[in-house]
Copies of this chain bind each other. A is one copy, B any other.
Amino acid sequence: MSITVVGSVAFDAVKTPFGERKRMLGGAATYFALAASFFDEVHVVGRVGEDFGAEDMAVVATRGADVSNIERVPGGKTFFWAGEYGWDLNSRETLDTQLNVFQDFQPELSSASRGCDVLFLANIQPELQLSVLEQCGETKFVAMDSMNFWIGSARDALIEVIRRVDCVILNDAELRQLTERPSIVGAARAVIDMGPSSVVAKQGEYGAALITEDQFFALPAFPLETVIDPTGAGDTFAGGFVGYIARQLDSSPAEPTLRQAMAYGTALASYSVEEFGTERVERLTAGEIDARVEDLRRITQFDHVPAPLEAS
């Protein structure tokens, strides 16, 4: 199956308690592509400036992702984001956002990108997500991300996108904001009522939960003593999750396949945060991914050994 991702390709400046990078490769589509291209053919749709070098493009294409649908704007500057994380990495402050060439991004998909079987709509303006959906032909699986800003400012368009995808990937706060439901299970069920067949609730250091019409599954994050940089963890998760599904897909993915995909996404995300930006995943190997999926199984399994409870 081939996968198309539409989203930001960017430069980030990041400061964490463990160091900083003044300018590193970033963007949702970059993180997604680096992870998903372990599994299948990936086409990246995005827009960068003239400051985006051949060596940056080569990183996005590390595992063979097709970058020919990333438009490079002569004289333009690449989307830039700067942020700083707090002591325990659970809070982050945005210090600067320069949309630059991303401001006028109007995704125009190449024929290879349009012909994908699986589509990931990274966090961009919902109207643009709709335009991508309309350009694509028959797809077998479409997943999407979004953010608090669009939930607040472009709610109707966002709900139209949600209605047309198979899987919504949002964090807990976004799910609550979107549905005005206090519980994650309730919020996810409300999203499923809009059309999707599955919801992934991203929970940061606590991992992620998968909610389908009649099932619930939760997987913790892989426990790390030191997280260096959480930037891109969510999009790396999405790349592993969607990539695994694309690789295993016949028609619509069965719930056990979604669970396995959660484990692959979680494994990839856990490597991503071990170093700054894309540094760790750039040199990651297939063997390392499988080893960590096995570790995830090991840290979540238990036997149900009934205690002889007092009848009461």
Contact = CB atoms under 8 A, between A and B. Distances in A.
A199 B272 CA distance: 27
Interface string A212-227: 0001111110011111
A207 interface: yes
Given A184-B223, A226-B186, A302 B262 contact: yes
Contacts of A219: 300, 302
A244 B306 CA distance: 9
Total copies of this chain within the assembly: 2
A290 B309 contact: yes
Contacts of A209: 220, 223
A260 B299 contact: no
Contact of A17 (B89, B182, B248, B310): B182
Interface string A250-272: 00000011011011100000000
Contacts of A37: 310
Given A186-B226, A263-B304, 7 more contacts: A39-B309, A88-B183, A185-B223, A218-B300, A285-B312, A290-B306, A294-B304
